[in-house]
Structure 1
Amino acid sequence: MLKVRDLEVYYGLIKAVKNINFTVEKGQIVSLIGSNGAGKTSTLQSIVNDVKRKGRIYFDGHNISKLPTHKVIQSGISLVPEGRRVFINLTIDENLRMGAFNNDEKFESLREHMYELFPRLKQKRAQLAGTMSGGEQQMLAIARALMSSPKLLMLDEPSLGLAPKIIGEVFDIITKLKEEGITILLVEQNAYAALDISDYAYVLENGEIALEDKASKLISSDEIRKKYLGA
């Protein structure tokens, strides 16, 4: 579904991502794990053409490398950014409306499905997003991204700053989305939680892919356990 080839990302003269290649197959959860500054967020931003980059990106057999961000979203890719970035002065309902900016004809049915997935949001649909807890904002950020009916959902650090119980809920939702047929590319510092639900994973170090394998193999790797799982 997604093929990234010879990707480089630049911030001024600094090369944050260095000639990486990876693939996300349809129906999979694929994780990018690694320490802070490894290039994970830059990689996601490059896919939606939000940073200066070189390389080729193919989605559903089409080269989307030169498409502007809104066209990438329309092609079927959606990003839940790090830090959630919900519209704090808008209600839950209004945030969902913003997520459906290119999918307005399906707004009503999609919104109801989001409220089935996230019943907590339905209870507070008229509440301003800025008054919600971090966990609720994360759920809203995911729901807003789903309002564009993506084929590929990219999540950047969805567990960041959340309580353990809420992290469990968020990862349960990610697993459920896969069951609904959505392909997922996940960036996550909680390497154990990411590998536990993933089919395949890539380990980024200093902007390069240091290791890749089936998630079930990486989670039992001594090297991964020492570096990223605290074992």
Structure 2
Amino acid sequence: MLKVRDLEVYYGLIRAVKKISFQVEQGQIVSLIGSNGAGKTSTLKSIVNDVKRKGRIYFEGHNISKLNTPKVIQSGISLVPEGRRVFINLTVDENLRMGAFNNDEKFESLQESMYDLFPRLKQKRKQLAGTMSGGEQQMLAIARALMCSPKLLMLDEPSLGLAPKIIGEVFDIITQLKEDGITILLVEQNAFAALNISDYAYVLENGEIALKDNAKELINSDEIRKKYLGA
């Protein structure tokens, strides 16, 4: 579904991602794991053309490298950014409306689908997003991204700053989305949680892919356990 070839990401003269290649097959959860500064977020931003980059990106067989961000999203890719970034001065309903900017004709049915998936949001649909808990904001950020009916959903650090119980809920939702037919590209510093639900994973170190394998193999790797799982 997604193929990234020879990707480089630059911030000024600094090369944050160094000619990496990877792919995501349809129906999979694929994780990018690694320490802070490894290039994970930059990789996701590059796919939606939000950073200066070189390389080629293919989605469903089409080269989308030169598409601007709105066109990339319209092609079927959606990103839940790190830190959630909900519109804090808008209600839950209004945030979902913003997510459906290119899908307005399906807004009402999609909205009800989101409230079925996230019952907690339905209870707070008229509440300002800025007054909600971190976990509720993360659920809203995911729901907002789903409002454009993506084929590929990219999630950047969805567990960041959340309580363990809420992290479990968020990862259950990610698993449910896969079962519903949405392909997932997951960036996550909680390597154990990410590998536990993933089909395949890539380990980034200093902007390069250091390891790649089936998630079950990586979770049992001594090197991964020492570096990222605290074993």
The SS at the match of 1:67 is coil
Give matches, 1:28-67, under 5 Å: 28-67=28-67
Q: Distance in 2 between matches of 1:128 and 1:13?
A: 40
Letter in 2 for 1:3: K
Aligned partner of 1:161 in structure 2 is: 161
Q: How does 1:1-231 map to 2 (within 5 A)?
A: 1-231=1-231
* TM-score in terms of structure 2 length: 1.00
**In structure 2, the residue corresponding to 1:32 is in which secondary structure?**
strand
Deviation for aligned residue 1:74: 0.1
Residue identity matched to 2:77: I
SS at match of 2:57: strand
Q: Aligned equivalents of 1:131 and 1:70: distance in 2?
A: 29
Query: After the TM superposition, which segments of 4 or more aligned residues of structure 1 sit over 6 Å from their partners?
Result: none
In the TM superposition, what is the alpha-carbon distance from 1:199 to its structure 2 partner? 0.1
Rounded Cα–Cα distance in structure 1 between residues aligned with 2:209 and 2:81: 21
Percentage identity across paired residues of the two chains: 90
RMSD of equivalent CA atoms: 0.2
Residue 230 (structure 1) shift: 0.3
- Say how many residue pairs are matched: 231
3-state SS, counterpart of residue 50 of structure 2? coil
Amino acid at match of 1:184: I
3-state DSSP of counterpart to 1:85: coil
**In structure 1, distance between residues paired with 2:193 and 2:82:** 17
Once residues 124 and 13 of structure 1 are traced to their aligned partners in structure 2, the CA distance between those partners, rounded to angstroms, is: 45
> 2:230 aligns to what SS in structure 1?
coil
Shift in Å at residue 151 of structure 1?
Answer: 0.1
Query: What SS does the corresponding residue of 2:217 show, helix, strand or coil?
Result: helix
Cα separation, 2, equivalents of 1:230 and 1:82? 23
TM-score w.r.t. length of structure 1? 1.00
* Residue segments in structure 2 that go unaligned for 5+ positions in a row: none
Shift of 1:40: 0.0
Take 1:12 and 1:124, find their aligned partners in 2: how far apart are those partners?
A: 42
Offset of residue 79 of structure 1: 0.1
Q: How far apart, CA to CA, are the structure 2 residues paired with 1:73 and 1:59? A: 11
Structure 1 residues not aligned, in runs of 5+: none
| Whole-Å separation in 2 of the counterparts to 1:105 and 1:61 | 27
Amino acid in the other structure paired with 1:103: N
Task: Give the AA of the match of 1:91.
Answer: T
